[in-house]
Amino acid sequence: MLLALQEELRAPQIDNEERIQYVMTAYAELIARIPDNEIMQTNEEIERFLEDCKNLNRPGFYLDMLAHYCKYTASNIEKKGEEYMDNILKYINVQSDKLILKVIAGITAVMERLPKENQMMMVPAIRRQIEMSGVQVVNSLHSLQNAEGNMLQHLYKKKVPVLQIFKTLEGV
């Protein structure tokens, strides 16, 4: 059954958006129900699926699957939490409202499954992605300016006025 769902999700053309969403949910449910003792297989499957989604330019599939997996799996996701979060955060400035909602759902699903200590460890990853998506280093100040007491090391400028994720109430 898993192979049939994978084939369907890897099809070069999507013929019916609503039907494929049901296929995605079924696939994600199967992945979420893989027993804990086979966590290596689960991780390999998720990584393979990410690569397929990248190759087919279907980030929404990956975001949907990961949000469902994190929400419903009985497995402990602590070891992979930061990796999952990094993969989700890459899309915080995508220009599609539909994908932004999927990003928010993914972030929420990961964070809800992590203990508070691990949630706090996600702050640097979130900050790093916000900086990568929203600001650009213009230049580093000359060492002479540093010698004169200027403590700023870099000058930055905005890449975008507002990141897409912050344009939604849920994203804030």
pLDDT at position 60 = 95
What is the reported pLDDT for 150? Answer: 56
pLDDT digits (tens, 9 = 90+) for 61-72: 999 999 999 999
Question: For residue 5, what pLDDT is reported?
Answer: 93
Mean pLDDT score across all residues of the chain = 88
Q: How many CA atoms lie within 13 A of 30 on its CB side?
A: 14
pLDDT greater at residue 163 or residue 103: 103
Q: Is the pLDDT of residue 111 over 60?
A: yes
**How many residues make up the chain in this entry?**
172
Separation between Cα atoms, residue 159 and residue 138, nearest integer Å: 11
- pTM for the model stands at 0.83
Non-local (6+) Cβ contacts of 137 within 8 A are: 154, 155, 156
